[in-house]
């Protein structure tokens, strides 16, 4: 009986743990690192045809560095995307165009303060 209670307590504790990101946020260990001053801002698209530029994508919640060939798509995604070069990527949080975290190349994003809005 004690073993069942201990197992139930362990399962309850594990389900209460916060979800972790699929990517390592370099700003967690080095807040002065590249692009870390952009964390907390809102990401706006700065890439592609004029029609899709200046679209709000979501909050920037971190920065990841990926080597060429490193996985940049979500691990559970049906298609695999690999980094085309060594690069920094913004970790975009849920609440914008998606309800999950994803990576976007820093060259494709125009970070702005949440109050700035569109230009």
Q: Are 68 and 74 in contact (CB under 8 A)?
A: no
Question: Residue 83 corresponds to which tokens in the numbers above?
Answer: 């980094």
pLDDT (0 to 100) of residue 10: 36
Q: Does residue 60 have a pLDDT over 50?
A: yes
Of residues 80 and 21, the one with the higher pLDDT is 80
Q: To which H or E segment does residue 96 belong? A: none
SS (H, E, C) the chain: CHHHHHHHHHHHHHHCCCCCCCCCCHHHCCCCCCCHHHCCCEEEECCCCHHHCCCEEEEEEEEEEECCCCECCCCCCCCCCECCCCEEEEEECCCCCCCCCEEEEHHHEEEECCCCCCC
pLDDT tens track for 9-30: 433 333 333 456 788 999 999 8
What is the SS3 assignment for 48?
coil
Q: Are 109 and 90 in contact (CB under 8 A)?
A: yes
Question: Residue 29 corresponds to which tokens in the numbers above?
Answer: 């260990």
Where residue 117 falls among pLDDT bands split at 50, 70, 90?
low
């Amino acid at each position: 009986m004690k073993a069942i209670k201990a197992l139930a307590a362990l399962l309850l504790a594990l389900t209460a743990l916060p979800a972790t990101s699929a990517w390592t946020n370099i700003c967690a260990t080095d807040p002065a690192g590249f692009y870390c001053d952009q964390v907390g801002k809102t990401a706006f698209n700065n890439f592609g045809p004029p029609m899709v530029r200046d679209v709000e994508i979501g909050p920037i919640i971190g920065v990841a560095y990926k080597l060429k060939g490193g996985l940049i798509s979500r691990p559970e995604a049906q298609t695999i995307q690999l980094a085309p070069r060594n690069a920094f990527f913004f970790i975009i949080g849920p609440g914008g165009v998606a309800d999950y975290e994803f990576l976007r190349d820093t060259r494709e994003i125009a970070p702005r303060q949440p109050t700035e809005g569109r230009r």
